[in-house]
Amino acid sequence: MVARCLDATEPCVHDKSATVDAPNRELSGSFDSLGSQGAQVERIPRRRPPVRDDAAREDVAALKAGDLLGQTLGGRYVLEERLARGAMGCVYVARQLPFDRKVAVKVLDPKSQSDEASVFQERFLREASVLARLQHPNTVRVFDYGHHHGHTYLVMEYVDGSSVRRLQAGGPVPALRMIHIATQMCDALQEAHALGLIHRDLKPANVLLTRHAGALDVVKVVDFGLAKEFFGNADITQAGQVLGTPMYMAPEQIRDEPCDQRTDIYALGVVLYRGLTGVTPFEKGKAMAVLMAHLKKHVPRFAEVAPELELPPCVEWTVRTCLRKRSEDRFANVMELKRALRACALAIENPDAYDLELALTPDGCVVLPDDVCETTHTGLRLRAPAPELPSRPASPLDGVPARVAALLVGLSIVTGGLLGILAERLLP
C-alpha cells in the first residue's frame, strides 16, 4: 500500500496512484512557517540523552541527518514510510507498538527551528494536549505527541481516503454532495467550539473524505488549533503577521482582531462557495490583494462566476450569510448554519420547496418558513397541507349571520312544537 500526505495540515491519506516521497509544495511551505514562531523569548537549554553504545550513536546520527525511516520515536512509533518532505520536516506512516496500528506522524526538523526551539516545543505540546480532547467521529484524532532526540512529533489518526481539495479540483461539486460534506464539517466544528477551540485555517485541504461502514464522503477535519499556531500557510510567514490561508481568511482574522466560532463559519462559507461554483470568491492577484478583497470587496454572486449554475435562492443566501464582513451578521454558530443547509437540501430535493425563503434574527438564528418544520434534531420537511373537510349540501341559511340563523332555527323549532300540539287537539 502506498500513501501520500495531500497537505501539510492533513494526516496521511491512502492513495494507490501516489508516489512515495514526492515533493509537496504546501507541506514545505507549512513547515517553513514554523521557524517564524516564538520570537523575543528567552532560550531554554535543551538536554540531550546520553549515547551509551555504538548502535545508539548511529541512531542519533541518523536523526540529526533527518533520515528517520526505520527509527522508533518515543519507543512506540516505528516510521515505516515517508509520505512527504519539506524544508521544515517530514510526514510519515508509522506502526504503533505494541498494537500494530497504522498512524500518521508529523516530525519537525530541529535544524529548521529557531533559537527559541525549546519554547516553541513547549507551546506545541501544550496545544496538542488540548487537541487530544477532540473525539468527534468527523475530526482526525490526535493520539500522542512528544520529543525524540530534538525532534518534535505529533501522532494522529491515519485516514484512508482523499481530501475536499482534490474533490474540488475537478470543478463544481453537486450541490447535495457539497451540503452533505458541509453539514459534517459543522458537526466537527461544534465539538471544538464547545471546548473553546477555533480552527482558524479551515480549507479544502484540511477536510478529508473517507468511507466508513459503507457510507461515502465521511468527513474528517484535521489540524484544529495547529493551523494558526504551528502550521501556518507559507504565504504569510514573517514574525508578527497573521498566519492563515488568504483565500479562506475572515476579515477579523486579517485585521488580527479577536476570533471566535464565526471566523470558522466564514472559512466554511468559502469552502462551500468554491465547491458550488468551482472558484473562490477572491483568488486573483497576490496574497495581499486577496486579503484586501476579503476586507473591502463584495462577494460575487453565483451568476457572475457560474452563470450556468441553477440552485434554489436559499443556497446562495446561506453561503453569502457565512461570508458577511461583520462576524455579528453571520450565523450565530455552526448549528444554525447546519439548519440552513438542511433547508437548502430540502429545497433542492423537493420542487414544492424550491422558492423557500430563509431569514436571520438579529442574534444570528435561522428563521424557517411556516410551511417547513423540523422533524428531528437535524431533519426538515414541508408541513402537510390541512385536510379538506367534506362538502355538505347547500342550506337556505348559508350566508345568513350566525345570530339570525340561530334565531330562525329556534323559531322553526317552536313553530314545529306548536303545530304538533294543535294537531293532537284537532285530530280525533
Residue 428 lies in a domain: no
Does one domain contain both 76 and 182? no
Last residue of a domain, one of 115, 142, 157: 157
At position 352, the amino acid (one-letter code) is D
Q: Which of 32, 201, 223, 264 is catalytic?
A: 201
Alpha-carbon distances of 122 from 34, 145, 152, 183, rounded to whole Å: 14, 11, 10, 35
Alpha-carbon distances of 230 from 108, 133, 148, 378, rounded to whole Å: 10, 18, 18, 34
Does one domain contain both 171 and 287? yes
Grid cell listed for 102: 497504522
Q: What angle do CA 143, 145, 150 make, to 5 degrees?
A: 155
Does one domain contain both 314 and 262? yes
Please report the pLDDT score of residue 241 as a whole number: 45
Please report the pLDDT score of residue 400 as a whole number: 57
Which residue from 206, 208, 182 is spatially nearest to 265, judged by alpha carbons?
A: 182
Last residue of a domain, one of 157, 179, 210: 157
Question: Reduced to 3 states, what is the DSSP secondary structure of residue 226?
Answer: helix
Does one domain contain both 254 and 136? no
Does one domain contain both 75 and 98? yes
Grid cell listed for 191: 465539538
Which residue from 101, 85, 107, 105 is spatially nearest to 93, judged by alpha carbons?
A: 105
Please report the pLDDT score of residue 396 as a whole number: 60
Residue 367 lies in a domain: yes
Residue 339 lies in a domain: yes
Query: Looking at beta carbons, which pairs linking 307-310 to residues 24 or more positions away fall under 8 Å?
Result: 309/172, 309/276, 309/277
Does one domain contain both 139 and 193? no
Omega before residue 98 within 30° of 0, cis? yes
CATH number at residue 28: 3.30.200.20
CATH number at residue 167: 1.10.510.10
Residue 410 lies in a domain: no
CA end-to-end distance (rounded Å), the chain: 112
Residue 229 lies in a domain: no
Does one domain contain both 68 and 193? no
Structural domains in the chain (count) = 2
Does one domain contain both 70 and 111? yes
The H-or-E segment that residue 394 falls in is none
Does one domain contain both 120 and 249? no
Has this prediction a pTM greater than 0.75? Answer: no
Enclosing domain of residue 210? 161-221+245-382
Residue 424 lies in a domain: no
Greatest extent of the chain over all pairs of C-alpha atoms, in Å: 138
- Whether 67 is a known active-site residue: answer no
Does one domain contain both 101 and 187? no
- The 10s digit of each residue's pLDDT in 367-408 is 999 878 777 655 777 776 656 656 666 666 555 566 676 777
The H-or-E segment that residue 211 falls in is strand 207-212
Does one domain contain both 201 and 344? yes
* Angle between helix 313-322 and helix 334-349 axes, rounded to 10 deg: 160
Phi/psi of residue 386, nearest 5 degrees:
-65, 135
Please report the pLDDT score of residue 66 as a whole number: 56
In tens digits, the chain (428 residues) has pLDDT values of: 333 433 433 444 444 343 334 333 343 343 343 333 333 434 444 445 444 454 445 455 445 545 688 999 989 999 999 876 755 568 899 999 999 999 999 887 665 555 466 666 666 777 777 788 899 999 999 999 888 887 888 899 999 889 999 999 999 999 999 999 999 999 999 999 998 889 998 999 999 999 988 888 999 998 775 544 333 333 333 344 456 789 999 999 999 999 999 999 999 999 999 999 999 999 877 889 999 999 999 999 999 999 999 999 999 999 999 999 999 999 999 999 999 999 999 999 999 999 999 999 999 999 999 878 777 655 777 776 656 656 666 666 555 566 676 777 777 787 877 777 777 777 66
Residue 409 lies in a domain: no
Contact 95, 24 (CB under 8 A): no
Residue 422 lies in a domain: no
Does one domain contain both 170 and 263? yes
